[in-house]
Amino acid sequence: MAEGVEKEFFEQLPTPIGVLDEIQAVPADQFFALHEMVDERLGPGFAIRVGQQMKMDDYGVLGLSWKTCSFVGEIYTRSERYFMLLSNTYVFKLEEAGSISNVFLNRKAHRRGVELSNEATFSATVVVLKAISGADICPVCVSFQHSPPAQFSQDYKAAFNCPILFNQDQNCISYKTEDLKMHTAKADKSINAYLLERIEEETKGIEIHANHIAYDVEKIIKDALPSGIPSMVQIGEHLGMSNRTLTRRLSESGVTFRDLIKKTQKELAIDLLKNSDRNIGEIAFLAGFSEQSAFNRAFKRWEGLSPVEFRRNQH
């Protein structure tokens, strides 16, 4: 619409713009057809420009999970988990190859709309990585399986700022591994706050209360769950503690690391079922489960009810 497509155009679609708030998702064929129709109107580079306009808040639960990533590359591993659990639209795969890490988008382009959507996807992830890192990081190469557009747009160069290849074996966006291992702006802020609190306690001669450590661990676990259940090593690295020290500190408050994982998963799931309209699959993702069925079984052990039954009883 910002480039000149009138609102009436979107109201005549099979799924009109006015009903989008009432549905979970637009059928894939309609989504790809829309890409093709708008591309015809707006010309070369349309999909790239769309990707550049996307913001994390536009991605719902997935975007919410990106905001709590500790490392830049986690947006891809969280996306991989999300789509495996909730969709068959994308299949992301992050593979580290020494100094370069490759992110593959395993989605065959059976029509022009899929090609355009693949371009928009990679374009959007560049924006997201810059946003969560707070740095102007760019890919080192972008590859597409489809043929180049008949008229190459400068939008590609502006968005990716790296070599762009077409007619390749796979759809792939590559980054320096060190860039994907950068702390996110959110993680830096969180670590900073934690360290400042510990310094203040040390300078005042206050011993860190065991329950305070348990509370900090719970907060970090909650942020980490969309990437899957974190290990004690990961949490210890975040807090600057060895496994042995962290285990001892938690033991002083009468809990184990495993206890806190289960407690955090349960409390998060119950809160989302009570106070949000997230669907069960999204809640399973945010709570660190790789399958909805595993989440259903765990929740029934916790509460004696399935997630659906529990939510129904709240009304």
How would DSSP label each residue in 253-267? Answer: TT--HHHHHHHHHHH
> Going along the chain, which residue ranges are E strands?
92-97, 100-105, 141-143, 164-165, 172-176
Judgement on whether residues 161 and 62 belong to the same structural domain of the protein: yes
Cβ-contact 98, 177 below 8 angstroms: yes
Task: Provide the pLDDT for residue 84.
Answer: 87
Judgement on whether residues 15 and 68 belong to the same structural domain of the protein: yes
Task: Provide the pLDDT for residue 204.
Answer: 54
Cβ-contact 164, 98 below 8 angstroms: no
| CATH code for position 264 | 1.10.10.60
Give CA–CA dist 289/312, Å, rounded.
22
Range of the domain at 310: 208-315
Judgement on whether residues 121 and 171 belong to the same structural domain of the protein: yes
Task: Provide the pLDDT for residue 209.
Answer: 53
Q: Closest by alpha carbon to 106, among 124, 87, 127?
A: 87
> Going along 156-207, which residue ranges are E strands?
164-165, 172-176
Judgement on whether residues 150 and 241 belong to the same structural domain of the protein: no
Cβ-contact 117, 47 below 8 angstroms: yes
- Is 190 within a domain? no
- Is 193 within a domain? no
Q: Per the structure block, which two tokens stand in for 245?
A: 């020290």
> For the chain, how many structural domains are there in total?
2
Cβ-contact 137, 55 below 8 angstroms: no
| CATH code for position 45 | 3.90.1520
Task: Provide the pLDDT for residue 276.
Answer: 93
Walking along the chain (315 residues) 10 residues at a time, the average pLDDT comes out as 68 69 71 85 88 90 90 92 81 91 91 93 95 93 93 90 96 97 72 52 51 84 93 86 88 90 96 94 95 95 95 85
- Is 92 within a domain? yes
Task: Provide the pLDDT for residue 27.
Answer: 76
- Is 51 within a domain? yes
Judgement on whether residues 49 and 131 belong to the same structural domain of the protein: yes
Judgement on whether residues 143 and 64 belong to the same structural domain of the protein: yes
Give CA–CA dist 32/25, Å, rounded.
13
Judgement on whether residues 61 and 172 belong to the same structural domain of the protein: yes
Last residue of a domain, one of 128, 163, 180: 180
Q: Per the structure block, which two tokens stand in for 311?
A: 């939510």
- Is 299 within a domain? yes
Judgement on whether residues 23 and 81 belong to the same structural domain of the protein: yes
Judgement on whether residues 47 and 159 belong to the same structural domain of the protein: yes
Judgement on whether residues 168 and 242 belong to the same structural domain of the protein: no
- Is 288 within a domain? yes
Judgement on whether residues 43 and 172 belong to the same structural domain of the protein: yes
H helices then E strands: how many in the chain? 16, 5
- Is 315 within a domain? yes
- Is 80 within a domain? yes
Task: Provide the pLDDT for residue 207.
Answer: 47
Judgement on whether residues 24 and 68 belong to the same structural domain of the protein: yes
Cβ-contact 133, 185 below 8 angstroms: yes
